[in-house]
Amino acid sequence: MATADTRHETGDGPSLLALVWVVLRKQLILLVRYPLNTATQFLTLAILFGIIFFGGQAVAGPTITDSLGGIIVGLFVWTLAIVAFSQLSWNVTREAQWGTLERLFLSPNGFGTVMVTKTAVNILLSFLWAFVLLLVMMVMSGEWLAVDPLTVVPLGLLTVASITGIGFFFAGLALLYKRIDNVFQLVQWAFVALIAAPAGTYPVLKLLPISHGSYLLRRAMDDGVRLWEFAPRELGLLIATSAGYLLVGYYCLYRAQRRARRNGLLDQY
């Protein structure tokens, strides 16, 4: 009989709740155990906003106020994106470095369930990071946006879903090719272009990951538009694109892990 702190049983299978708790506890331990690294990650984003805000005031003067709301929302979405993406993609590389990657495949829950659980925990943490940073940015700038949880949270989840699909894809690449750290960094900066894409002017850009969600979040937080005030076709398109990127990304991860197991790549780094 397994002990209660290592494995909980519900019926005939392993407990999903126990898996969620283990993954969440591990992430929190890593954040607390390396406080300097955690603080540096957050301060980097806060300092970046400070440079944009105060530097913009020095160069452009009061005119930066016209775009300040968009800048704050953009950095909010970028924080959501990079935390959700990096935690998922880098996790596979770190597990391989630590020599614990094979253990994920030995989990009674299955590798796919473990990765989905890690993703859910990463999304939760990304929202915590993003909302704390959002508060800091509004305090620094004095620009207070409309933050309606009933609007921002659903739109944020759908926006992150497309990024999660990309994270699944690159996690699969990490299983196969191991060292793709530089590619991760390039993708993170590519998110800036996707967030800043004028999706409202060129509707075709709404098909790109994160672009449409970023556009709707700007309207919600900067203009005060509520979730139920958006046109159904706008929300339908966001749901469709987010689900599409998520499913395709997960399928790529599934194929990559099958190939990695078949070629004996899991125990190599």
pLDDT at position 243 is 95
- Indicate if the pLDDT at residue 120 is higher than 50: yes
Residues 225-245 have a mean pLDDT of 94
Quick: pLDDT tens for 64-110: 556 778 888 888 888 888 877 877 777 777 777 777 777 777 778 88
The mean of the pLDDT values for the chain is: 82
d(C-alpha 265, C-alpha 206), whole Å: 37
Residue predicted with more confidence, 257 or 269: 257
Residues 109-115 have a mean pLDDT of 83
pLDDT at position 239 is 95
% the chain with pLDDT above 70? 88
pLDDT at position 60 is 55
Residue predicted with more confidence, 2 or 131: 131
| 266 confidence band (pLDDT: 50, 70, 90) | low
Lowest mean pLDDT among 143-152, 194-203, 233-242, 260-269: 260-269
Quick: pLDDT tens for 190-225: 888 898 888 888 889 899 999 999 999 999 998 889
pLDDT at position 58 is 61
pTM to 2 decimal places: 0.83
Residues 51-63 have a mean pLDDT of 65
| 9 confidence band (pLDDT: 50, 70, 90) | very low
Residues 232-252 have a mean pLDDT of 94
Residues 231-259 have a mean pLDDT of 92
